[in-house]
Amino acid sequence: MSLVRVHNFAISLDGFGTGEPQSREAPFGHAGERLHEWMFATRWWKPDGGGGGVDDSFARQFEPGIGAEIMGANKFGPPGWQDDPEWQGWWGPNPPFHTPTFVLTHHAKPSIEMEGGTTFHFLDASPAEALEQARAAAGDQDIRIGGGATVVRDFVLAGLVDHLHLVQPLRTLGRRVLALGVVGAAVTAGGTPGGVVAALAIAVVVASGLRLAWGTSAGRPGLDSVGIAGLARPRRSASSRRPSTRRS
């Protein structure tokens, strides 16, 4: 069976996956691009001048083998986009997904076909129901859970995620709603001739029992993030997955 994957998902030191309030002028709220600076510095994002290393290696796993994406309403647009018949997402006529993309919203609407293979489908569905439709569209390829934070959390807590890649930028946001049930975090850092060496200790509550592990790319000049994590769980049959009663 295909896998359900989360890639390049950044969480602040105090446990938040985005800022607030979100608007057309500020897609990530008061966080701006602070949670994504690690990615913008990679060669994957910036072929001319970007860096290699572990950040680049993990970032490149975003697309291969993906046959469909599931995202939340707040990733697709700012509050109120459902009332704008012209809104087609943040990404212009050729979005970067190139697959069927399922948007979880309480305001279902007709699908929108874009350039480059992306078609947005709008579902009022639970995580399990949305995943069933995404799997049918993806064929034998994997499904990516693209965010935002609430959608990632709902799929993890429903026991539906097989691979989870987390990034821990050295940032705090001070928001209200935790991204993945983070209950405690501590960081220590000190200067070295090669840059900053950072060590992260973080406690996470995940009801699904997903195993957590993380590493760091400490010691590189200009280091600004730690906690590059590739998390995987053994494949399970569809019948063993717990159904979800929550709706996005």
Taken as a whole, the chain contains a residue count of: 248
The two structure tokens encoding residue 2: 């295909």
pTM exceeds 0.75 for this model: no
Least confident of 80-94, 161-175, 205-219: 205-219
Number of domains in the chain: 1
Q: Is residue 88 part of a domain?
A: yes
For residue 211, name the pLDDT band (cuts at 50, 70, 90): very low
Distance from C-alpha of 130 to C-alpha of 158, rounded to nearest angstrom: 12
The two structure tokens encoding residue 92: 């212009």
For residue 205, name the pLDDT band (cuts at 50, 70, 90): very low
pLDDT(136) > 70: yes
Q: Is residue 240 part of a domain?
A: no
Q: Is residue 80 part of a domain?
A: yes
- Mean pLDDT for 108-132 is 96
Q: What is the CATH number of the domain that holds 59?
A: 3.40.430.10
Share of the chain above pLDDT 70, in %: 70
For residue 148, name the pLDDT band (cuts at 50, 70, 90): confident
From 78, 120, 122, 125, select the one nearest 98 (Cα to Cα): 120
Q: What is the pLDDT of residue 127?
A: 96
Distance from C-alpha of 184 to C-alpha of 201, rounded to nearest angstrom: 8
pLDDT(181) > 50: no
The residue whose two tokens read 């590059």 is: 228
Q: Is residue 90 part of a domain?
A: yes
Judging by DSSP bridges, how do beta strands 142-147 and 119-123 pair with one another?
unpaired
Q: Is residue 241 part of a domain?
A: no
Q: Is residue 247 part of a domain?
A: no
Q: Is residue 244 part of a domain?
A: no
Interval 47-62: pLDDT, tens = 998 888 888 888 899 9
Range(s) of the domain holding residue 104: 4-235
Q: What is the pLDDT of residue 135?
A: 97
Bridge partners of 123, per DSSP, are 104
Q: Higher model confidence: residue 122 or residue 20?
A: 122
Q: What is the pLDDT of residue 53?
A: 86
Q: Is residue 46 part of a domain?
A: yes
Q: What is the pLDDT of residue 175?
A: 58
